[in-house]
Amino acid sequence: MKEFNELFGMAIISISFVLIIFIIARYTYLIKKSMIEKGVYVDQKTNRFKYLDIGCIVFGLGVGLLVSSVFTVMQMSEDTMDLLVWGTILIFGAAGLVVAHFIRKKLEEQ
């Protein structure tokens, strides 16, 4: 019964993931289609730094994981350690997003 529950849970997670990807792709397609039909010009300058945000966020998350590994060797309760680890990861991820904003702002001025 336990294996069935685990299999059922994994199936639900997989189906949810696929549905989320499908909904996002469909929504993006419909938005682009309606913009083309209305004759709206999409400026390609916005796509110039397409991966800057993603790269900075992933870099921030990586640094957050690296820094949060320090908390795993400290002698503290498991709840406190989990809170510090997740908090550190989220803070560094947000810092990566802020850095991406300032980099984009500086590059757009040029």
pLDDT digit string (tens) for 15-35?
999 999 999 999 989 988 898
* Cβ pair 67, 88 in contact under 8 A: yes
Give the model's pLDDT for residue 105.
87
Confidence check: pLDDT of 45 > 80:
no
pLDDT digit string (tens) for 90-109?
999 999 999 999 998 888 88
Q: Which of 70, 65, 55 is nearest to 92 (CA)?
A: 65
pTM: 0.58
